[in-house]
Structure 1
């Protein structure tokens, strides 16, 4: 005998078994609240930032850094390849010639040219890392520093003095001559490990002459400036991990 289409599990034809559907509709909201109720007793993993900032990944793309050679000369040669590679047009580079002649501007890098002007607009930068891939001298790398917020849009355009790596032990502030007897390629082959006595003597005499000129001009320094002064006091205070060269290729 064929089953009646109107029959239910109770075996009585013409009657609908609504008990299961009614109970499921009744407990459906309770099941939803049950998920919320169960999470009330779990430990909340709250990140206590900025009191306890989380460490970033080793290859994190943070703010940029212009690196130096072990004696303090700049690695940037002003080739502008980073600016051409930037898809957001956030980098501005203006190169200039190193001038070792008497009365010249001096030498800032081992190459023929150096980056006289270097700016990165962090209102445009998308931190893609294409600029550091394009750099032929490994002058530009990205640090682990990410606290770039500011309440002034103009201060988010970082200049060369803000992007240059701080002077480490054995480094001197440019301009000064290259290590005597070495060429540009010797710098990139790792033959320079620190500044020489001749370079230190040159910098000392240069600074002494600058002090005499400043004294001759009288008290004060009307030409002094503090470019890129930030409201965030620790924006230029890096740790060793944040400034290590080549950490983020």
Structure 2
């Protein structure tokens, strides 16, 4: 008489293989390898052709700007506090009427990211109250010297887009830092352009910003 196994042991017992299962069992583990023989070979031509990276990939950090060119970073250091690897260093400074770099009272004077420590977790982005810090898809960070992997603010700050006015310059007249955070700034104004023209007449962004102001005025008049 066959001994009956307990129900819990029978629950995890493999189903018996049929005739074909027993026949092909020795080569079943090579199924993926065999089917790959008949697929076309795909070779990425890196570094001559950039690889495809997912849009939400966590790469090199970037400090963003508002539409008029002021920096979004207010030097609050929350990103540095949130970093589990202690890879970020922020030192804030006060904005002044002669040197307004960001909306509000303060801006990030020093911003360093140590990529020898960074684990690209993205917690710094989550901690940023003004969405100043994001992570780009740039992953090519290898270098020959350890010191070159400590990125300073000019290496992280986003480049000026067409029509933006290089900081420092005053905030948009009549608006507060809260208005900036809510996205109510769409570009530089004539007062900002005039201020930069008076204090930095050779600023390379002045001409494009002045043109953007004229275009906006003409569009609003239609």
Q: TM-score band (shorter)? A: 0.7 to 0.9
User: Cα offset for 1:147?
Assistant: 1.0
Q: Distance in 1 between matches of 2:53 and 2:91?
A: 32
Q: Distance in 2 between matches of 1:97 and 1:42?
A: 61
1:51 corresponding residue in structure 2? 48
Q: Distance in 2 between matches of 1:63 and 1:134?
A: 17
2:91 corresponding residue in structure 1? 94
SS in 1 for 2:201: helix
User: Cα offset for 1:202?
Assistant: 1.2
Question: Runs of 5+ in structure 1 lacking a partner?
Answer: 1-27, 211-249
2:122 corresponding residue in structure 1? 129
In the TM superposition, 1:35-46 aligns within 5 A as 42-46=39-43
Q: Compute the RMSD of aligned alpha carbons.
A: 2.4
SS in 2 for 1:208: coil
Tell me whether 1:191 sits opposite 2:188 in the alignment: no
User: Cα offset for 1:183?
Assistant: 0.8
Tell me whether 1:83 sits opposite 2:80 in the alignment: yes
User: Cα offset for 1:96?
Assistant: 0.7
2:68 corresponding residue in structure 1? 71
2:216 corresponding residue in structure 1? none
SS in 2 for 1:93: strand
User: Cα offset for 1:141?
Assistant: 0.4
Of 33-42 and 122-131, more deviation after overlay is shown by: 33-42
In the TM superposition, 1:1-249 aligns within 5 A as 42-100=39-97, 104=98, 106-208=99-201
User: Cα offset for 1:71?
Assistant: 0.2
Which 4+ stretches in 1 moved above 3 angstroms? 30-42
**Rg larger in structure:** 1
Q: Distance in 1 between matches of 2:28 and 2:171?
A: 75
Q: Distance in 2 between matches of 1:139 and 1:99?
A: 20
Question: Runs of 5+ in structure 2 lacking a partner?
Answer: 1-25, 204-222
Q: Distance in 2 between matches of 1:195 and 1:33?
A: 64
SS in 1 for 2:93: strand
Q: Distance in 1 between matches of 2:117 and 2:181?
A: 32
How big is each residue's C-alpha offset from its partner over 1:140-174, in whole Å with a ceiling of 9 and x where there is no partner? 00111111111122111111111111101221111
In the superposition, relative to structure 1, how do residues 81 and 40 fare at CA in structure 2: closer, same or farther (>3 Å)?
same
Q: Distance in 2 between matches of 1:57 and 1:70?
A: 26
User: Cα offset for 1:130?
Assistant: 0.2
Q: Distance in 1 between matches of 2:55 and 2:30?
A: 41
